[in-house]
Chain A
Amino acid sequence: MSEFLQHLVNMLVLGGTYALLGIGLTLIFGIMNVVNFTHGVLYTFGAYIMFIVVQQLGLNFFLALPVAVLAGWLLGAAIELTLLRPLRGSDIDTTMLVMIGAWIAMQSGALWIWGGVAKSVTTPFPEAPLVLGPVSVSWLRLFVLAAAALLILVTYLLINRTSLGRAMRATFQDHDTAALMGVNVDMIYTSTFAIGSSLAAAAGALLGPVYVIFPQMGDLAAVKAFAIVILGGLGNITGAVIGGFILALAEELGAGYVSSGYRDAMGFLIIIAVLIFKPTGLFARAERVG
């Protein structure tokens, strides 16, 4: 029983960052209809920003997170402006392949710059975990959960309470009508991609110190993000949050009770099962974003 409780606690911590990854991708996929293969690279990028700020520049750990968010935002905007804007209107396969090209180039770039050796980040948190009865959780992981929850809340407010969010929702529903109503759709696309990218970078910056940082770390993160988006339904932020926690639970239980080698297979199995049996996602509400 205590083992099960421990799995639940781990699930909460992982689920928070998975939700961040999923929200970013679901916004981009839902609003722009772009299968963003660079999502994992932005996750990696966020983690390396953490490494640079904390280890190489020696700056404060808590400063690194906003820096990573900002850097992810800028890189995302750059990708959108240079690669996606010229391809507006071309078919989804072409865009997908271009994003795969960008992913390969950027991941190899990371390998070239930082090398293949895994990096770790020293954190200001005590080594000893917080013990609550039968379960224990490290302070770092608690911080990760809190920061992820805060970012999810901010994103939720941004989408539902601001005029930018309203324009994003309008574009999701019908981009032609939104354009007629005076929404600058190009700007909305760039903002959407930048916001989604900054969330991926934030997730990487948060999970990087928990594990280790290496150039291919984003590959699995991207797959997980796809699984979450498919679970939660396109453009559905609440669905992405729930999907993040479901995936985390499936991984924890799979690793705990089946075999740790198959932990990473859970995301793929969820994708296959959902798309075959319930292709609209578990919480089908694809008609609106939010």
Chain B
Amino acid sequence: MRAVITILLVAALASVPLWLRDPYLLNALITTGIFVIGAMSLNLLLGFTGQLSLGHIAFFGIGAYVSALTSLGFDVGLPGDLRLVHAPWPPIAGFVLAILVAGLCGYFVGLLSFRVRGAYFVIVTISFAEVVRLVALNWVELTQGPLALTNIPSIALPLPGFGEMTLRTKMHNYYLVLVVALMAYLLIARLVHSHFGRAMRGLMENETLAVSVGIDVTRTLTIAAVISAAIAGAAGSLYAHYIRIIDPEVFAFINTVTMVIMVISGGKGSLAGPVVGGLIFGLLPVALRPVMAPEAQWIAYGGVLMAILFVLPRGIVPSLAQRFSRRRSNAPALAPVALTETGAKEPA
């Protein structure tokens, strides 16, 4: 039953470019899809380890810049009369490098910031993102600073026997984003239901207890941070090659907040949560655009974030899932939030 629904949903998503001819809407769907990937990666930390990282956009932005610079090439001076020169590589190499570099950054940031918890963790992660933004703004020789990196090439897929296929149109990019999003979803789902996933959730529910049963907290959190950052880096790379221009504003704190809103509203700790929340909040600006000024939209954004936390603190998907399972079994759902949507009854 579940598998049928899943296949139908994916088929429905895959059919969109066949009947949706409005380029503006298709563009909104593509950028929303990219942010959904970012939100899914944030959910891995926020929803499954309980760490509220508000610097997540750093990894997205690093992925975007690494990918853009790899495919554009650069020539920068280093201290001591050295020069670092890089000739342009194919964008697909940029995509791979973006994942690797973002993951590596996730490793170092995680190593340092997991030394503190709670409010301090939040503040450290914000600080990291802002430092990266200021470097992107000020290292003009590498990043062009506020002038932005322009003319970033579109991703080209090597097809054995047919040469290359450059993904230039909106329809191409839509399918590219859809495929990457599905892969990210499957990866996270697999991870969450593995032994490692149980360690993560155990840690979220009671860190002291998790330590006492032998879970290596720092290792578990760091692995989660690396995977989360790597996926965010992939999303950033897709963004750079789709929008084809990036400037330091990509690191703006508001972009992290957008991802957080997507995760919280959809339901943190639920696999489908960021997808549902992401689609709602990614497409909301499209719906509001004809009726509201941009500033008013942002006021509404802030208001909606507050309202969700007051009214639906667990998010849309877990609340619906609970209602659904209660109606079916006439009993209160006992499974923890993270497990409700698979129906798995394993002890957390």
Chain A interface residues toward B at CB < 8 A: 29, 33, 35, 83, 86-87, 90, 92-94, 96-98, 100-109, 111-112, 219, 223, 226, 230, 259, 261-262, 264-265, 267-269, 271-272, 275-276, 279
Taking a contact as CB atoms closer than 8 A, the residue among A86, A104, A262, A275 that contacts B134 in the complex is A262
Number of A-B contacts (CB under 8 A): 118
With contacts A97-B309, A223-B130, A279-B116 known, is A106 near B302, CB below 8 A?
yes
With contacts A268-B127, A275-B123 known, is A261 near B137, CB below 8 A?
yes
**B122 surroundings in chain A (CB, below 8 A):** 35, 93, 96
A112, B116: Cα distance in complex, Å: 38
A97, B134: Cα distance in complex, Å: 24
Asked if B264 contacts A230 (CB within 8 A), the reply is no
B293 at the interface (CB under 8 A from A): yes
CB distance from A289 to the nearest CB of B (A): 17
Taking a contact as CB atoms closer than 8 A, the residue among B115, B124, B137, B302 that contacts A103 in the complex is B302
Asked if A272 contacts B124 (CB within 8 A), the reply is yes
**A108 surroundings in chain B (CB, below 8 A):** 295-299, 301-302
Asked if B296 contacts A112 (CB within 8 A), the reply is yes
Asked if A93 contacts B305 (CB within 8 A), the reply is no
B119 at the interface (CB under 8 A from A): yes
Asked if B306 contacts A101 (CB within 8 A), the reply is yes
Taking a contact as CB atoms closer than 8 A, the residue among B116, B253, B301, B306 that contacts A98 in the complex is B306
Asked if A97 contacts B264 (CB within 8 A), the reply is yes
9 A/B residue pairs, CB under 8 Å, sorted by A: A83-B306, A98-B306, A104-B305, A108-B296, A262-B138, A264-B134, A272-B127, A275-B115, A279-B116
Taking a contact as CB atoms closer than 8 A, the residue among A92, A106, A269 that contacts B131 in the complex is A269
**B257 surroundings in chain A (CB, below 8 A):** 100, 104
B79 at the interface (CB under 8 A from A): no
**A261 surroundings in chain B (CB, below 8 A):** 134, 137-138
A248, B130: Cα distance in complex, Å: 18
**B304 surroundings in chain A (CB, below 8 A):** 101
Taking a contact as CB atoms closer than 8 A, the residue among B124, B134, B305 that contacts A100 in the complex is B305
Question: Which one of B131, B260, B302, B304 has the greatest number of beta carbons of chain A within 10 Å?
Answer: B302
Asked if A105 contacts B299 (CB within 8 A), the reply is yes
**B115 surroundings in chain A (CB, below 8 A):** 275-276, 279
B175 at the interface (CB under 8 A from A): no
Q: A101-B302, A105-B298, A279-B120 are in contact. List 17 more A-B contacts (CB 8 A).
A: A83-B306, A97-B309, A103-B302, A104-B254, A108-B298, A108-B302, A219-B253, A230-B123, A259-B138, A262-B134, A268-B134, A269-B131, A272-B124, A272-B127, A272-B131, A276-B115, A276-B116
Question: Which one of B122, B128, B135 has the greatest number of beta carbons of chain A within 10 Å?
Answer: B122
Closest to B119 in A: A35
**B93 surroundings in chain A (CB, below 8 A):** none
Taking a contact as CB atoms closer than 8 A, the residue among B112, B128, B137, B299 that contacts A112 in the complex is B299
CB distance from A219 to the nearest CB of B (A): 7
**A112 surroundings in chain B (CB, below 8 A):** 293, 295-296, 299
Asked if A97 contacts B305 (CB within 8 A), the reply is yes
Taking a contact as CB atoms closer than 8 A, the residue among A101, A106, A219, A271 that contacts B309 in the complex is A101
Closest to A115 in B: B295
Asked if A104 contacts B302 (CB within 8 A), the reply is yes
**A259 surroundings in chain B (CB, below 8 A):** 138
**A102 surroundings in chain B (CB, below 8 A):** 302, 306
**B113 surroundings in chain A (CB, below 8 A):** 275
Asked if A93 contacts B124 (CB within 8 A), the reply is no
A239, B306: Cα distance in complex, Å: 33
CB distance from B206 to the nearest CB of A (A): 14
Asked if B116 contacts A275 (CB within 8 A), the reply is yes
Taking a contact as CB atoms closer than 8 A, the residue among A87, A96, A98, A268 that contacts B119 in the complex is A96
Asked if A275 contacts B302 (CB within 8 A), the reply is no
B310 at the interface (CB under 8 A from A): yes
A86, B298: Cα distance in complex, Å: 24
With contacts A102-B302, A259-B138, A271-B124 known, is A92 near B118, CB below 8 A?
yes
CB distance from B43 to the nearest CB of A (A): 14
**A264 surroundings in chain B (CB, below 8 A):** 134
A97, B116: Cα distance in complex, Å: 19
Asked if B120 contacts A265 (CB within 8 A), the reply is no
Taking a contact as CB atoms closer than 8 A, the residue among A98, A111, A223 that contacts B295 in the complex is A111
A106, B305: Cα distance in complex, Å: 13
Question: Which one of B293, B306, B310 has the greatest number of beta carbons of chain A within 10 Å?
Answer: B306
A118, B309: Cα distance in complex, Å: 33
Chain B 325-344 per-residue mask, 1 if CB under 8 angstroms from chain A, else 0? 00000000000000000000
Closest 4 CB pairs of A and B: A105-B302, A104-B302, A101-B305, A108-B298
With contacts A96-B122, A104-B254, A264-B134 known, is A272 near B299, CB below 8 A?
no
A106, B138: Cα distance in complex, Å: 29
B45 at the interface (CB under 8 A from A): no
Asked if A265 contacts B313 (CB within 8 A), the reply is no
Taking a contact as CB atoms closer than 8 A, the residue among A35, A94, A265, A269 that contacts B123 in the complex is A35
With contacts A97-B260, A108-B299, A265-B134 known, is A86 near B310, CB below 8 A?
yes
